[in-house]
Homo-oligomer: A and B are copies of this chain.
């Protein structure tokens, strides 16, 4: 039973809220029973697994866990309300692969990065590929927004120029609308999405094999939130690819 705030494991969890500590250790923390269970289901073993001495459901996995005074676990939580279970895991990065994947460029909001990891897990077979300027997918906000999909679908890293497969850019300036007519490219496809408002840099969009604009109403905003745009794009491309089979 851990009763000291100076416990090494508690200090590690607090430290992992900072990107620098995540980069240095190669670790990250996941808070809450849903996320820890998602890790177990995906076969990830925790480096550290702490549970609140009161009220926590015992994790079913193989990793031994330590009990902690609830107040101490609350204090290292990055969530407002505290968590009853916190796991520490080793970060995993994969190679880009799959018939359909998604590349994000300059998407700096961790909630958006995590949400796209969730959407990709639900809609396509490839990972989320993170380009320059993207938020850390292993930050507490991103891990939470992924709803545990970070474990089943770890991210990849790449520059735009190094992507293989046909690049399909979402670009508000494109003449062809998403959903209009057959796709002029063949799988494997990489959907490429930039930040809200800025979008993909024009010089990158110009290098794409196909550029598509999500049809938006006149008089409304000129862009969707980046996670929404990526999800709509994955939905449409996945449907097209399924129809072509």
Contacts and interface: CB of A to CB of B under 8 A. Distances in A.
Interface in A110-139: 111, 115, 118-119, 121-125
Interface stretch (A17-25, A186-194, A199-207, A220-228): A220-228
B115 A217 contact: no
Contacts of A215: 238-239, 242
Contacts of A238: 215, 217
Nearest to A114: B225
Interface residues of A, number: 33
Contacts of A123: 216-217, 220, 224
A52 interface: no
A59 interface: no
Contact of A221 (B122, B236, B239): B122
Given A122-B220, A214-B235, A220-B121, A228 B147 contact: no
Q: Which 9 pairs of residues, A with B, have the shortest CB-CB distance? A: A228-B231, A122-B220, A122-B216, A232-B235, A121-B220, A179-B239, A122-B221, A122-B224, A119-B228
